[in-house]
Structure 1
Amino acid sequence: MKVDLAIINAQVFNTFTKKFEKNNVFIIEDKFYYITDDEIENWQASKVVDAEGQYLIPGLMDIHMHIESSMTSPSIFSEAVVTHGVTTVVADAHEIANVFGMEGLEAFFSQPSVMDIFYAIPSSVPSTTPELETTGGYIGVEEVKQLLQHPKVIALGEAMNFNGIVNEPDSLIRQILHAVQSERPFMPLEGHVPRVSGLELSKFLYAGITADHTHQAPESIYEKITNGMFLEFQKKSITPENMRVIVKNDFYEYIAIITDDVMADDLLEGHLDANVRLAISCGMPAEQAIYCTTYTPARRMGFQDRGAIVPGFKADFLLLNDVGSFEIGAVYKDGKLVYRQGNGISYPAVKPDFPEHFYKSLDCRALKLEDLRFRVKASEKAVVNVIQISDVGTFTEHVQREVRVADGFLDWENSGLALIIVMERYGKTGNIAYGFVDKALYEKGAVATTWAHDHHNLMVMGTSSEDILAAQKQLLDIQGGYVVVQAGKVQAVCPLPVGGIISDAPIQELGAQLKGVRQAMNRLGYRNSNEIMSFSTLSLPVSPVIKITDKGMMNVRSQVMIPLVEGEQI
């Protein structure tokens, strides 16, 4: 029998027994043909690779992630991530959709890539409603119906609008869910279900949402899975206590390991493979971790051609040097070598291709000093509403603080709080919203970005007017990205000129720039398990408890606006 490729002497992962078996694997064109212990002499192979006892497993599959979170293009992302063993992703491109709408999605769909990139329809553009945040793009029912016809679209992306799902039967998100269920009844519907339980969880499930990827705890894992929800574990949910729940209850069939968001500097070190290693270190058996990054995600998304080493499936696979440490020796896509440890990628790099106007997307005025002065009625002290950040994760708390009043104005620069400003950047309204943040910056300085979940308006936070003005000006000059200023001097810059959220620079250059931003934020006193994500999600109005958009601060659950100064409207 003649085949194109033979991998011999491999320890092959059998998905259905979850064991490794010494076998030879024969491949014709881009598919597995036969897995056997037959001697190679009985076969005519165009190419033979002796695995020498390496462990052969299916290519990893990440079914809940956002390419834009790595701040790079699909092409560059693919080149970086395939070296970490990922051969298929399902991307929810709601960030580029929030900036450019359908045009942004089409630009992403058309980018070439080494790995297979499928897409989930962005269901929440905006994440709440146009009354609560201004976006550049909009995805409504008609846009969803168009996207349902696209061959790369295989799921509905995370439904995030809590009120719209739970309390408003005629909301846009409910209309979108109905449209998808009517036209593609077997399409997976992804959810964003943080800190939701009891009757509210039932309402999410009743609406058709059957998966959640948000931060989990042992009790939420048990409740959600036993109510029929598929759980997707990103890094912050992969903990020893959570893995114990999975192992104890044999919940492997109902979960997948995913990434959700991986910053560009972290991407240099690992991607989904890093989360596999983390799961193993937290107590999940290695074979189950492989199962939950290959077969269960494939089944969740309805793939019938990948996720296992069996005849007829795509020949996407890895050769591991060691299972426990998950050290990747080689990666094959469609039966062809695309990466070998020590040699790098084995295909030509592809340059991103975006429309010219994507590089000029900021329509926002420069701040002035008078924009940062707040006259109040109180004569000595005023009570202000404050977003309090945490050291881990993106959740916040709503607290109040007293701020001294000097000559009728808030003396916020001496309050120990940071001022946060969100400016509408699409040339639609010119909105400017203000808030205060606690446990953010402890030194004199400012951080500014246009990578502000999910609307991506311009956001700047600082402890001095001088630094806020300097950071915002620099951000406008580079047409978006991240800027850190300390004591009047620019300390770090990460340009993201494509829509203010994406770089077309090589991933190594982008990663170094982003690492510089992270370090500069640390010097200002910003402390979080992921400083950049923590800062960027201060504007995400679907992440508990209090966040800010260009319309103002709001309680995420009730979607009620919160004034800057209690009892006053500024």
Structure 2
Amino acid sequence: MNIDLLIKDVQVYNVYMKQFIEGNVAVLDGRFLYVGARGEETFTAAETLDGRGRHMVPGLVDIHLHIESSMITPRTFSHGILKNGVTTVVSEPHEMANVFGLEGVQAMIDASQGCEADILYAIPSSVPATSLETTGGEIDVADIDKLMKQDRVICLGEIMDSYAVLNDPNGKTNRILQHFRDHYPHVVIEGHTPKRLVDLDLARFMFAGVDSDHTEQEVESMLDRMRSGCFVEIQEKAMRPDIMQVLIEQDVAELFCFVTDDVMADSFVADGHLNHLVRKAIKMGMSPERAIYAATYTSARRMQLHDRGAISPNKIADFVLLSDLNAFTIDAVYKRGTLVYDAARHTLQQQEPGQFPLHFYESVKLHKLTEADFIVNVEAADGIQMCRVMEVVNGTTNTNELHREVNVINRELQWEKSGCGLVATFERYGKNGQRGYGLITGNTIKRGAIATTYSHDNHNLLVVGHNAADMALAANTVIGTQGGFCVVVDGEVLKHVPLPVGGILSEVPFEQFGQDIKELRAAMESIGYEHYNPIMSISTHSLPVSPSLKLTDYGLIDVHAGQVVPLVV
């Protein structure tokens, strides 16, 4: 029998038995034809591989991520994930949707055409994430119906505003959920389910149709979810010893998978992608068989991708050959039976400019700022006033609310003498010119300034600093390149990373951009940022669904109360 590819004498991972079985694998027309003992006496192969000493696993499947979190284009992302054994992803482009609405989602889908990896999409369900921020675009029910006609769209992306689901029955989020229940009852709905949602609140959230969670976990809240049938997607920050112990020791393999969610480009280049989580799980005591299961089969099944996630007849022939199972060392990656990555050949990606419509490179509608733009006027009497302060905490992107005394002179807050930094955000879409101000402390910078248009999820201009001059220089550097990151100290630009596509993406090749982000991280740390992920930390200062005190162009947001609160208490 003629076939395209025969892999001989390889240790094949069988997801159904959760074990490796030595055998031969035949591939025909991009799909697995046969797995078993038969070999060259039965098959005449156009190509034959010797699999002795190697393990063969399905291509990894990552069902919850945001390409824009790596600040690279879909083509660059495809290049990066394939070398890490990831052959299928489900991306939710709510970052680009916040900048350009439906057009932004469509542009991301279009930019994925021709990628070697399968890049599938979730419809952004929470654009904007709340009513307390200004975005460049939004997604509503009519947009959802248009996107559901796309072949690459397979689910509704994470429902983020749990407060609205539970407390605003006639609001936009509940209208979207009701529309899905009525018109697309069998389509998967992804959830952003804060750990505070347990018991009745969790039940009500699930009753609305949201039956998964990818957020930070605690053991009891995670078990509460699993007992309720809520599928749990474990990202790296949830891979703590206590969580992993539960996943290893209890019979919950069908109830979770691994996902990356957000991966910075420098760690993407240095450490890998979903394969990094598999490797980490094995190091933490999970058997390779269980770790691989949670990065292939359960993830594919969750998204109803029944044609992949396993090495068995009629499944898509996406697979990875490993030279070391426990270290998860990748030798080669095959997509639909074709070699797409060979560890023995080092290939660099070439730059591909102009992947998006022209106006995507002209999205920052802001004039240059001056030091006067960082004067904070308050409705308060002169003298010492108690003010709200955002506390940055290492180990989490959540922030705390503190209260500190700050002097007011002629209704001007003397923030530069307060011992705190200033955080400011400026609406950048040319819609209303709104701006918000707050104070900041904790594991953030101690001098200089940082500015960025990569600020979840609204992506307005965010500036943090300790003096107005540095803040203005950082902001204007970013404005001048139509988006990006800039770190400044004492009037000197330490690092500038342009993000010209929508103010949030770069078209620089994978390895080079990873080096840029590594240098950006080092620059942030050099001026005092003490955080496991300073880039993600600062970019979520404006995320009003992430506890506890955040800042948008509307002002300071009490996330738990879901409302704007004044700077002066």
What's 1:207 paired with?
A: 208
Secondary structure at the residue paired with 1:8?
strand
Counterpart of 2:247, as a letter, is: I
- 2 CA distance for matches of 1:348 and 1:449? 26
Mapped contact 2:421–2:464 kept (Cα < 8 A): yes
Q: CA RMSD in A?
A: 1.5
- 1 CA distance for matches of 2:177 and 2:482? 35
Deviation at 1:44, TM superposition (A): 0.6
What's 1:331 paired with?
A: 333
Counterpart of 1:8, as a letter, is: K
Mapped contact 1:253–1:296 kept (Cα < 8 A): yes
Deviation at 1:134, TM superposition (A): 0.6
- 1:288–1:349 distance in 2 versus 1, CA, 3 Å: farther
- 1:348–1:114 distance in 2 versus 1, CA, 3 Å: farther
Mapped contact 2:449–2:467 kept (Cα < 8 A): yes
- 1 CA distance for matches of 2:348 and 2:408? 64
Mapped contact 2:450–2:488 kept (Cα < 8 A): yes
Query: Deviations along 1:206-242, whole A, 9 cap, x unmatched?
Result: 1010100000111111111101100001110012210
Mapped contact 1:26–1:35 kept (Cα < 8 A): yes
What's 2:86 paired with?
A: 86
- 1 CA distance for matches of 2:377 and 2:58? 62
Is 1:290 matched up with 2:296?
Answer: no
What's 2:143 paired with?
A: 143
Mapped contact 1:93–1:120 kept (Cα < 8 A): yes
Q: Structure 1 stretch 539-548 or stretch 194-203: which is displaced more?
A: 194-203
What's 2:549 paired with?
A: 546
Mapped contact 1:418–1:436 kept (Cα < 8 A): yes
Query: Deviations along 1:487-511, whole A, 9 cap, x unmatched?
Result: 1111001110000000011112211
Mapped contact 1:382–1:410 kept (Cα < 8 A): no
Q: Structure 1 stretch 515-524 or stretch 491-500: which is displaced more?
A: 515-524
Q: Which structure 1 segments of 5+ residues have no match?
A: none
What's 1:320 paired with?
A: 322
Deviation at 1:369, TM superposition (A): 2.5
Is 1:443 matched up with 2:446?
Answer: yes
Which of 306, 309, 312 is equivalent to 2:311? 309
What's 1:76 paired with?
A: 76
- 2 CA distance for matches of 1:520 and 1:390? 19
What's 2:503 paired with?
A: 500
What's 1:488 paired with?
A: 491
Deviation at 1:383, TM superposition (A): 1.1
- 2 CA distance for matches of 1:316 and 1:405? 63
Secondary structure at the residue paired with 2:540?
helix
- 1 CA distance for matches of 2:76 and 2:148? 26
Mapped contact 1:418–1:440 kept (Cα < 8 A): no
Q: How does 1:42-191 map to 2 (within 5 A)?
A: 42-111=42-111, 112-129=114-131, 132-191=132-191
What's 2:455 paired with?
A: 452
What's 2:522 paired with?
A: 519
- 1:351–1:519 distance in 2 versus 1, CA, 3 Å: same
- 2 CA distance for matches of 1:27 and 1:531? 45
Deviation at 1:247, TM superposition (A): 2.1
Secondary structure at the residue paired with 1:84?
coil
Deviation at 1:245, TM superposition (A): 1.0
- 1:375–1:360 distance in 2 versus 1, CA, 3 Å: closer
Mapped contact 2:555–2:565 kept (Cα < 8 A): yes
- 2 CA distance for matches of 1:423 and 1:440? 23
Mapped contact 1:79–1:349 kept (Cα < 8 A): no
Counterpart of 1:561, as a letter, is: V
Mapped contact 1:337–1:346 kept (Cα < 8 A): no
Q: Which structure 2 segments of 5+ residues have no match?
A: none
- 1 CA distance for matches of 2:547 and 2:350? 43
Q: Structure 1 stretch 197-206 or stretch 499-508: which is displaced more?
A: 197-206
Moved beyond 4 Å, runs of 4+ = 345-352
Counterpart of 1:501, as a letter, is: I
Secondary structure at the residue paired with 1:216?
coil
Secondary structure at the residue paired with 2:267?
helix
- 2 CA distance for matches of 1:374 and 1:87? 50
What's 2:434 paired with?
A: 431
- 1 CA distance for matches of 2:77 and 2:354? 10
Counterpart of 1:289, as a letter, is: A
Secondary structure at the residue paired with 1:399?
strand
Secondary structure at the residue paired with 2:260?
coil
Deviation at 1:85, TM superposition (A): 0.2
- 2 CA distance for matches of 1:171 and 1:564? 28
Which of 473, 480, 496 is equivalent to 1:470? 473
What's 2:359 paired with?
A: 357
Mapped contact 1:317–1:333 kept (Cα < 8 A): yes
- 1:255–1:274 distance in 2 versus 1, CA, 3 Å: same
Q: Structure 1 stretch 285-294 or stretch 161-170: which is displaced more?
A: 161-170
- 2 CA distance for matches of 1:374 and 1:507? 40
- 1 CA distance for matches of 2:57 and 2:99? 38
Secondary structure at the residue paired with 1:268?
helix
- 2 CA distance for matches of 1:370 and 1:462? 14
What's 1:279 paired with?
A: 281
Query: Deviations along 1:416-435, whole A, 9 cap, x unmatched?
Result: 21101110000000001101
- 1 CA distance for matches of 2:419 and 2:450? 16
Deviation at 1:403, TM superposition (A): 1.4
Mapped contact 2:445–2:525 kept (Cα < 8 A): no
Deviation at 1:352, TM superposition (A): 5.8
State the percentage of identical aligned residues. 43
- 1 CA distance for matches of 2:410 and 2:547? 36
- 2 CA distance for matches of 1:24 and 1:349? 39
Deviation at 1:200, TM superposition (A): 1.4
Query: Deviations along 1:221-269, whole A, 9 cap, x unmatched?
Result: 1111101100001110012210111222211101010000001111102
Counterpart of 1:474, as a letter, is: T
- 2 CA distance for matches of 1:307 and 1:263? 25
Secondary structure at the residue paired with 1:41?
coil
- 1:427–1:474 distance in 2 versus 1, CA, 3 Å: same
Query: Deviations along 1:146-193, whole A, 9 cap, x unmatched?
Result: 111111110110000122111111111111111122221111110001
- 1 CA distance for matches of 2:412 and 2:118? 56
- 2 CA distance for matches of 1:191 and 1:168? 17
Counterpart of 1:180, as a letter, is: F
Secondary structure at the residue paired with 1:362?
coil
What's 1:393 paired with?
A: 396
- 2 CA distance for matches of 1:351 and 1:29? 33
Deviation at 1:55, TM superposition (A): 0.2
- 1:62–1:345 distance in 2 versus 1, CA, 3 Å: farther
Mapped contact 1:443–1:463 kept (Cα < 8 A): yes
What's 1:15 paired with?
A: 15
Please give the TM-score of this superposition, normalised by the length of structure 1.
0.97
